[in-house]
Chains A and B, each alone.
Chain A
Amino acid sequence: MANADCVVIQGSNMAECHPVGFQWVSEAKARGARVIHIDPRFTRTSAIADTHVPVRAGTDVVLLGAIINHVLSNDLYFHDYVVAYTNAATLVNEDFVDTEDLDGVFSGYDPRTGTYDNASWAYEARADTDGEIQEPAGDDEPESRTRARAAGQELGSYGAPLEHARVVRDETLQHPRTVFQILKRHYRRYTPQMVRDVCGIPEEQFYEVARAITDNSGRERTTCFAYALGWTQHSLGAQFIRAAAILQLLMGNMGRPGGGIMALRGHASIQGSTDIPTLFNLLPGYLPMPVAGEHDTLEDYLSQIASPLQKGFWTESPAYTASLLKAWFGDAATPDNDFCFDYLPRLTGAHGTYQTTMAMLDGEVEGYFVVGQNPAVGSAHARMQRLALGHLKWLVVRDLQLIETATFWKDSPEIATGEVRTEDIQTEVFFLPAATHVEKSGTFTQTQRMLQWRHQAVRPPGEAQSELDFFYELGRRMRDKLAGSTDERDRPLLDLTWDYPQDEHGEVDGEAVLREINGSHLTGEKAGELLSSFTQMRADGSTSGGCWIYTGVFAGGVNRSANRVPRHEQDEVAAQWGWAWPMNRRILYNRASADPQGRPWSERKKYVWWDEEAGRWVGKDVPDFPVDRDPSFRPAPDDGGPAALAGDDPFIMQADGKGWLFAPKGMVDGPLPTHYEAQESPVDNPLYAQQRNPSRLIFPRKDNLWSPSGEEPGSDVYPYVFTTYRLTEHHTAGGMSRWLPYLSELQPEMFCEVSPELAQEVGLENGGWATIISARSAIEARVLVTDRVRPLTIAGRTLHQIGLPYHWGIGRDAVVEGDSANDLLGVVLDPNVHIQESKVASCDIRPGRRPRGEELLRLVSEYQSRAGTTAATAHERVDEVPPEMARRRAAAGAPGETGSTSATADTEGTG
């Protein structure tokens, strides 16, 4: 980021939430960069920025779409980059119909299931091949299945599969079905006036932002975007990020120093928790968890990850999968038994954390492990979380302190309201003390994919223990108890490789686990040697490796995550500090930092380039490209995999080697970002009849009510917008901060931020109390009246936004306690990644403390009945359109809907 000429921070309060990382923004500014902060609130980040742009929460696609439109209409894009490195020139097939023509839905939509069949979004097939592009085997299933697997998350590090890369391109960008022209038409109505009316941003400020980006992009200059949960926690969050990706590709800012889109991740190893996932839909290295009926055999499974004829490194997934299964099941995994692929349990839908919570309420879940997490405070609809805990048979909480999730049975607010009684809660609770980061050794993967080894400083106190030791011990005992079992279902546990060396205190050697993750040669003369690269992995069972993208971290038997060459002893790339996946590359897709001929775009932005004499890619970083591939190389038509990458295909994990402006696959809610209003919004969608994302995941239940939106009767009962956020001095649900005296003293009390105008309107006093009421619950907070929150003018009307930090919870054990902002939220999810919308919702606010006991429930239900909200409110998938439009939609709808094929929906388990 220090190398950027312009930094746009949107959907993040970086100075507050990533204060030390923010020094690189300050550094960029000191070197002359322009810093722009786009956020509903004026924050510590805005204070450092050159410009703060207040925006209505949840409208980012309108702003970004308008900048895209501005760039396209005025020919301000980076032409040579766009033509060579993106799919701008690629033609989309004739069946595709845009939201502009269907009033807010794309072709392929099935209103019964709320899902898309994406067949009509496909690229046009080249006529010189066999005629039509074949989909990867088995992918003729309706998209609903993909959705149920959280497809977007699954495709976390790569593009969706294509059968091959024989596409039709028009590099003049003039053909009406080129991605470029489709993009132009799609964003035609996203204008500065629309930005003014929807986002509340004055036109001159829009032009200021647009100019800053366009002036600071191109050969000589780069612009960088940074976002955090202000973008992800929306019912179309993944599309916010896609919109930024489109803009950055158009401006030529990907794969170059000072460019890119920085996902500012919020936890020490949240990147690692996705790479080596404790997520329902993934196996390590972004391999999918198998799905019943789709992945019955290893062959079915592999054929759906990638086609052998597409470009890039995903074609090697058979080697990654076999190596993973060898790492897990050892000698039991052989080529003859598909490496025990049958041992893996199968998914039948979405089994995410919110679906699981609802399954608990329905009595389907007996046991629950909560490990370093505090859902009773930290998850959306925290009240639903606490009630669900009371339906378990047993609960294991592992933490440093007695967090609210551990004490829910005696401290939860539902006991105060009389809804539940401690004596009636039949959950058996085990609290086990955990080890801190200095009491165990291991790796965190930070926000730029870098693994850093932590050395153990001291042993854990008392009975405290690391997760590594606990789960190793748990597994050991379960295996002991099952020893001798002849039940076939116990084979996977008994065949598991589960013998890790322990030290004299019985602590498991973390390096032994990291070595298993890295992988080894199992046969031949190198048997026993650690792999140095994932390209050494084989599909025949001769290698093992627990997470292919991490292969190389232990190359040569050296723990490279422990590399610590001081910064003064190396250059700015600092390749000898820690280890970044893959293969210690610090900027992904860095081939794009050179022009199609392999020369740096400019001396100023020189990073990786083709050395003609040496016949190699060289530069400041590990080239993210086959190192000896000549820029002029063109593959044979039938080549697949890495061999099919042309010398100017920098996006090596994409199935066609290009950056995707238009996503023919991989996004379940549309190939292009489109503006929809949030689940709860005070305004009607001015762009389309479709109010909300028609593919968002909804849960129509009596305990998950919403306020009416826009012009619907009752929406004025909850007239204000609130957004939730973090503070520097606290950490998420407070488990690691509200028990610390220093931090609790710095930020002792839950508060709400309101503008002086709103304070006057409802009679709030600075330092006094306010009660905030949503359709789910009511909480109290201290009032902070501040100019940091400004009323916006939306389509001529004044709109007030309220800011709420979410760190507090009710429990007697912490140094400080308070009401939890997450109690106000309901559950509605982004369909791509299943993340909840917690950055925007509707509420009312009034002076004074909230009522206690049953009175609290009465207040909430009095509001609900005044607004007339029911379980059906805001749970419509599609909004009404005139008959003529309905006919057009049906004609372009999902095949199942028009009766042309036999596609059936399979949404089992999606709630």
Chain B
Amino acid sequence: MARKDSTFLGWPVLRQLATGDLLGRGASVTSRRTREVTPRTSTSDRVVQSVCPYCAVGCGQKVFVKDEKVVQIEGDPDSPVSRGRLCPKGAASEQLVNSPSRQTHVLYRPPGGTQWQRLDRDTAIDMIAERYLESRRNTWQELDSKGRRVRRTMGIASLGGATLDNEENYLMKKLYTASGAIQIENQARI
């Protein structure tokens, strides 16, 4: 092909006639690059069924993975909810996963600080656990102002988004409640 393309034999009209693609809508007008590429979806190592993380319609997604990287996310035609469709957000969700600005390191800003610092995750979780227990101690209420037993802390609060999995919400509510934190809220109230 390469040789032919570079001579007059590669002229479009001749190609159309030669290949029977008379209207020039088929193989005769595809470029070499087009001929050489294959869809990422066909070369992926595996396809995993998922659900779109944006609105609550719950559209089915097919996640295409190659070399342990997500290479494409498409609508799942099997889904009775979405019948294979995705909106612009769902269709862009591959960028959500592979965004170059996505943070993959723990960052820390000390009181009064003007810059982020790096902190390893293990240390960060340990520091948070310490602070949690300390704030709980500082603000513990065994009784309220009327002498009624409340056994709680009003010094720790939480606000979750509604893209949390049910299992995640469950562990959060369980842990917070057992520790006495009650100001636990979610996007569902907003």
CB distance from B142 to the nearest CB of A (A): 7
Known: A430-B107, A498-B175; 18 extra A-B contacts, CB below 8 A, are A20-B85, A266-B55, A266-B56, A269-B164, A366-B135, A380-B190, A402-B103, A431-B107, A438-B97, A442-B165, A461-B102, A467-B165, A474-B125, A478-B133, A732-B187, A739-B99, A741-B95, A815-B101
**Is B131 an interface position by the 8 A CB rule?**
yes
CB distance from A427 to the nearest CB of B (A): 7
CA distance A746 to B162 in the complex (A): 24
- In the bound complex, do residue B97 and residue A268 qualify as a contact, i.e. CB atoms below 8 Å apart? no
CB-defined interface of A726-756 with B at 8 Å, one 1/0 digit per residue? 0011111001110111110010000000000
Other-chain contact of B175, A427, A456, A471 (Cβ < 8 Å)? A471
Residues of chain A with a CB closer than 8 A to B111's CB: 425-428
**Is A523 an interface position by the 8 A CB rule?**
no
- In the bound complex, do residue A267 and residue B169 qualify as a contact, i.e. CB atoms below 8 Å apart? no
CB distance from B118 to the nearest CB of A (A): 10
CB distance from A445 to the nearest CB of B (A): 6
**Is A275 an interface position by the 8 A CB rule?**
yes
- In the bound complex, do residue B129 and residue A478 qualify as a contact, i.e. CB atoms below 8 Å apart? yes
Interface residues of B (CB under 8 A from A): 46, 48-60, 63, 65, 68-70, 73, 77-83, 85-90, 92-93, 95-97, 99, 101-114, 116, 119-121, 124-133, 135, 138-140, 142, 144-146, 148-190
Name which of A64-72, A392-400, A668-676 contacts chain B: A392-400
CB distance from B55 to the nearest CB of A (A): 5
Residues of chain A with a CB closer than 8 A to B182's CB: 280, 289, 345, 347, 351
CB distance from B143 to the nearest CB of A (A): 9
Selected A-B contacts with CB under 8 Å, 20 pairs: A20-B81, A270-B162, A283-B173, A356-B183, A400-B96, A400-B99, A401-B99, A401-B102, A425-B111, A438-B50, A470-B125, A471-B168, A477-B126, A478-B132, A489-B142, A489-B151, A731-B89, A736-B163, A740-B95, A836-B190
Within 8 A of B (CB), among A363-388: 364-375, 378-380
Interface of B is mostly: mixed
8 smallest CB-CB distances across A and B, nearest first, come from A462-B104, A446-B58, A372-B161, A442-B165, A267-B162, A345-B152, A270-B162, A574-B80
Within 8 A of B (CB), among A16-32: 17-21, 23
- In the bound complex, do residue B158 and residue A492 qualify as a contact, i.e. CB atoms below 8 Å apart? no
Residues of chain A with a CB closer than 8 A to B78's CB: 564, 566-568
Interface centre among A21, A367, A427, A430 (most CB of B within 10 A): A367
CA distance A352 to B157 in the complex (A): 10
- In the bound complex, do residue B48 and residue A564 qualify as a contact, i.e. CB atoms below 8 Å apart? no
- In the bound complex, do residue B164 and residue A278 qualify as a contact, i.e. CB atoms below 8 Å apart? yes
- In the bound complex, do residue A277 and residue B80 qualify as a contact, i.e. CB atoms below 8 Å apart? no
- In the bound complex, do residue A346 and residue B58 qualify as a contact, i.e. CB atoms below 8 Å apart? no
**Is A795 an interface position by the 8 A CB rule?**
no
Other-chain contact of B183, A23, A284, A365 (Cβ < 8 Å)? A365
- In the bound complex, do residue A410 and residue B114 qualify as a contact, i.e. CB atoms below 8 Å apart? yes
CA distance A370 to B187 in the complex (A): 11
Residues of chain A with a CB closer than 8 A to B108's CB: 428-431
CB distance from A346 to the nearest CB of B (A): 4
Residues of chain B with a CB closer than 8 A to A400's CB: 96, 99, 102-103
- In the bound complex, do residue B87 and residue A19 qualify as a contact, i.e. CB atoms below 8 Å apart? yes
Name which of A209-217, A509-517, A702-710, A876-884 contacts chain B: A509-517
CB distance from B168 to the nearest CB of A (A): 4
A366-B139, A396-B128 known; A463 and B172 CB under 8 Å?
A: no
Residues of chain A with a CB closer than 8 A to B144's CB: 292, 346, 348
A278-B158, A439-B97 known; A394 and B131 CB under 8 Å?
A: yes
Other-chain contact of B92, A343, A393, A457, A743 (Cβ < 8 Å)? A743
- In the bound complex, do residue B79 and residue A269 qualify as a contact, i.e. CB atoms below 8 Å apart? no
